[in-house]
Amino acid sequence: MNPKTRIQSKAVALSKKHRFLCLEWATGTGKTLGALKIVKNILKDNPKAKGYLICKESTHKKNWLLDIKKHRMSKVGKSMKTVLYASLKNQEAKADFVILDECHALTPLRIKALKNILQRGTKIIFLSATIPYEKKVIMDLFCANRIHYYKISLNKSFELKLLPEPSLVVHRVHLNTEIVRGKLWEYVARKPKGKVIKYCSHKDMFATMKMYPKEVGVICQGTEQEHYDALNKQMAYYEGLSIDNDLPINVRTGCRNKYLNIASSRKKFIAEVKTQNVKDLVKEFRLNNTRFLCFTGSIKQVKELGADSAVHSKNKNDFNQHLVDCFNDMVCNELFAVKMLREGVNLTNIEKGIITQLDSGIASFFQMLGRCLRHEFPEMHLLVVQNTQDEVYFKKSMNNFNDKFIIWR
């Protein structure tokens, strides 16, 4: 019995013992087939059983249909209605079983809607590669702490030979302390209340602000390092105000929101300074006719990279699906994604990948890495800006990753 068959057989056995079962398996280890085999076993005992498959996005639904066809599980497919979490509130028919794909998408409101289709003894199969702690709290509360978690981490999947061992190539990027190619980064020190804006260097910021009335906007122009330092100082200022108990609660809340907005701007900035590095990698991959997937930081960055095949939220769903199909049909060799394709989508024969920007949570790294683990020799490239918040995200993501797979550049 091969490793994948063995873990799926164990999942079926556990489903017989536990009404609530969570397959928290790393991407690519066979969660979908495991869930289908569980439902097949349910139908063996009760041929009239009916249930639901709840998906996060419409693209995920298509993947399930393809997998059902691939594994010859048409009977299982006919036994369940496939809907999105957003449509859960519209369902009324009671279920004998429910598959919750990407179960970390659950929210208190969605759980409330889910309760409407449950009956005594309904089996629930939770599926996810990574579940944040706060989501597990919600799930456990919903199921009265009766969920049995069957977990297979990414490192464990490598150990069991469920997935090929990857190479994670980490590229060190440094903020420029001088103006490069005439690029000036603009930091808004004071928003204008009219149309008048004054530009200055960072060292002249306070003098410029004193020189002109408050209605006049002030924008500092400088290097990458100066821009990053200015954002950090601004964040520290608003963070301090947000925890000052001498201030009214509404003022503290406003300062907290301002702090979070600047943090978001800083994250986008860190991604943008990597654009030239990403361009170089993309150029190299194209020259070698490499099939690759590139996760970018923004739609703006995608345009700068000259990418025509970019999946993002501004596109229509049909167009995004067309791009994915083109890649999976081996017609297109490259695919770009902006905060999409991180989960629930099977992508064919990706030789190399690029992660432009990490998030504060570790889940995003493993989701993006998981997209490239279906090739025999997967290689993921990750860009990290040194001495910035980027390093904090990187260290956090590496806590549960074997450093023997890391190659530094």
Domain 167-175+274-408 is found in CATH 3.40.50.300? yes
What pLDDT, on a 0 to 100 scale, did the predictor assign at position 366? 86
* DSSP annotation string for 310-331: EE-TTS-HHHHHHHHHHHHTTS
In the predicted structure, residue 348 carries a pLDDT above the cut 90: no
Q: Give domain limits for the chain.
A: 3-153, 167-175+274-408, 185-272
| The two domains 3-153 and 167-175+274-408 share their CATH topology (first three levels equal) | yes
**% of residues, the chain, pLDDT over 70:** 100
**CB burial readout 280-314, b (16+ within 10 A) else e:** ebbeebeeeebbbbbbbbbbebbeebebebbbbee
One-letter amino acid at 144 equals A
Dmax (CA) for the chain in angstroms is 81
Q: Please give the mean pLDDT across all residues of the chain.
A: 93
In the predicted structure, residue 93 carries a pLDDT above the cut 80: yes
Cβ(35)–Cβ(99) under 8 Å? yes
What pLDDT, on a 0 to 100 scale, did the predictor assign at position 177? 96
Q: Please give the Cα distance from 397 to 320 (Å, whole number).
A: 28
Q: Write out the E strands in 33-153.
A: 51-55, 80-84, 97-100, 123-128, 147-152
* DSSP annotation string for 61-79: HHHHHHHHHHTT-HHHHHT
Question: What band does 360 get if pLDDT is binned at 50, 70 and 90?
Answer: confident
In the predicted structure, residue 1 carries a pLDDT above the cut 80: no
In the predicted structure, residue 339 carries a pLDDT above the cut 90: no
Residue 19 neighbours by CB under 8 Å, 6+ apart: 121, 122, 123, 124, 146
Question: What band does 79 get if pLDDT is binned at 50, 70 and 90?
Answer: very high
3-153, CATH topology level: Rossmann fold (3.40.50)
| Element of type H or E holding 102 | none
Q: What angle do CA 237, 238, 240 make, to 5 degrees?
A: 70
One-letter amino acid at 137 equals V
What pLDDT, on a 0 to 100 scale, did the predictor assign at position 281? 96
pLDDT tens digits, 17-59: 999 999 999 988 999 999 999 999 999 999 999 999 999 988 7
* Residue 197, number of CB atoms within 10 A of its CB: 14
